[in-house]
Amino acid sequence: MREHPYTIPLAILAGGVIVAGAVYFSTAKFPPAGSGPGNPALVRPVGASDHILGNPAAKVTIVEYSDFDCEYCKSFHETLHQIIANDGADGQVAWVLREFPLSELHDNALSHARAAECAAQVAGNDAFWKFADALFASQPADPANYGSLAKGAGVPGDAFAACYSTASTTAIGTRIAADRQNALDIGARGTPYSLILVAGKSPVVMDGAYSYDAAKQLVDQALGN
């Protein structure tokens, strides 16, 4: 997890670049030897099962891989809310949040991901985003407080508890693992790691917690502004 140190962002990154301070996973977590550092073009296409804030048919989609216990993810979460509130107000920009729990660093990262996915499964997309906001607001969130966070997000407590009790062995566990593997495949070695997608163009990488101005510059470029 890291904060992007520059006000003016770098050009499109061809792959996942490992920088000082980056998060390193165990060798077993990396793609197979010889597969390279990752390829942004391998990002999984956005689909109906994704958690989308904004217009699903937007010209520009920001796909973020995030960890609910990453402090830089928390600040970037706020930045992307600003982007959606401003640049996404006319339906031109959407935000997709995918799970990239850094269990190597954060004991509760996987638990938080499961809880957020249960909020979505039980009460839908809006509840997912409310629950995600609550997790970041209470960072580092205590799993003992999931019930109250779920209630605040409008998620029925009994259904949430039932979902969470089996999340590790259901489709939720598979989904989280798939999100994490896709993050590794495209070159992510820390959080937040995001891609700006425009149909017919190569993905633009945002590796780290970009400032609002830096993120907006890239989004404006993608929009052709």
The Cα–Cα gap between 26 and 225 comes to: 42
Residue 191 lies inside a defined structural domain of this protein: yes
CATH number at 99 reads: 3.40.30.10
**20 in any annotated domain:** no
Query: What are the structure tokens assigned to 45, written together?
Result: 């296409």
Residue 18 lies in a domain: no
Instruction: Give the per-residue pLDDT at 15.
Output: 33
Global confidence as pTM: 0.84
Is 22 among the domain residues? no
Q: Which amino acid is at 112?
A: H
Tell me which residue range forms the domain holding 197: 27-223
pLDDT of the chain, 225 residues: tens digit per residue? 555 544 333 333 333 332 222 343 332 333 332 344 689 999 999 999 999 999 999 999 999 999 999 999 999 999 999 999 998 999 999 999 999 999 999 999 999 999 999 999 999 999 999 999 999 999 999 999 999 999 999 999 999 999 999 998 999 999 999 999 999 999 999 999 999 999 999 999 999 999 999 999 999 999 997
Q: What pLDDT score does 2 carry?
A: 53
pLDDT in the model for residue 173: 95
Question: How many domains are there within the chain?
Answer: 1
> In one letter, which amino acid is 5?
P
The confidence score (pLDDT) of residue 25 equals: 38
Spell out where the chain has E strands.
51-54, 60-66, 93-99, 193-198, 204-207
Say how many C-beta atoms besides its own lie within 10 A of residue 135's C-beta. 25
Asked if residue 178 is part of any domain, the answer here is: yes
Contacts of 163 (CB under 8 A, 6+ apart): 118, 121, 122, 170, 172
- Is residue 74 a part of any domain in this protein? yes
Is residue 6 one of the residues assigned to a domain?
Answer: no
Cβ-contact 94, 52 below 8 angstroms: yes
> In this structure, is residue 9 part of a structural domain?
no
Q: Residue 188: its pLDDT value, please?
A: 96
